[in-house]
A and B are shown apart, each in its own frame.
Chain A
């Protein structure tokens, strides 16, 4: 890929990561209600799944930022191929198999420029907005209980 060209939103790697991330966190009911504003998605066949499993979530702790295993979370994945031959993947949080299949179908459709315009505006953007608001609310609540370890930080930097 040449760096000068502006990436097509329907084929850009980063853009795809973004919509897949939004779909991974969205609830099935929210997706379905937003899809009412979009014509029916192309027919599809399932290539793999939907199947559920566990993934280890890792975090960073301590002054050195060493990785530690925070805990496992359930994840459901699905891969589909739609009628136009586009392959869509989805890894979604939780065990909702229907959501994973729906997210994979959306991922396949979103790679097509025509579908991308419709779905991005009607489904992805509202979901992303709602998720950002949710994150901001949680961050505000957490910030109210934050403790500043000034002394600890001073001791670390002094040693």
Chain B
């Protein structure tokens, strides 16, 4: 059992501020927000992704962990108490590498809110491949540098976006930073200036 690390020091206020950060991140895609500062989750969890789990996941949501997160399973079970589910049936998916988005629950046209949310840990939100984002929440196209997404992410995302209103929402976490890529977003590859 590796539950010997605490969760939020102040569960109510920390969960509220993290929820606010996620809400803002979903409203302003590509903008970086802080979450989980002061949190010391077990490896391989990062503070931001741990804060997302402590805020969003509880006994009423199902969670799927990818194989790389197994070391944190006990900690997550203890603090969140979420029932485990196979990846195709989970409400939330915690991953160290982008899972196959077409295999996840995308909701239905009647219930698009049932689409899964993927909390993905990446190496950096400030370097790596440069993407251009446009869509609801962005007055003008924004750029995003991210290290840790697969090279074919733009085409993977195009398939996800085309299913709107069904689809997967993505929360990218690196350290204590997070940003959200909701399914309404259009993403193209940006030409990186030298």
Contacts and interface: CB of A to CB of B under 8 A. Distances in A.
B79 A48 contact: yes
A135 to B, nearest CB: 32
Interface residues of B, number: 9
A82 to B, nearest CB: 10
Interface stretch (B5-13, B64-72, B164-172): B5-13
Nearest to A80: B6
Nearest to A48: B7
B3 A87 contact: yes
B141 to A, nearest CB: 44
Interface residues of A, number: 9
Contacts of B6: 45-48
A75 to B, nearest CB: 15
Interface of B: 1, 3-7, 11, 78-79
Interface of A: 45-48, 51, 79, 81, 85, 87
The 10 closest A-B pairs by CB, nearest first: A47-B6, A81-B4, A87-B4, A48-B7, A87-B3, A45-B6, A46-B6, A85-B4, A48-B79, A47-B3
20 contacts: A45-B6, A46-B6, A47-B3, A47-B4, A47-B5, A47-B6, A47-B7, A47-B78, A48-B6, A48-B7, A48-B78, A48-B79, A51-B11, A79-B3, A79-B78, A81-B4, A85-B4, A87-B1, A87-B3, A87-B4
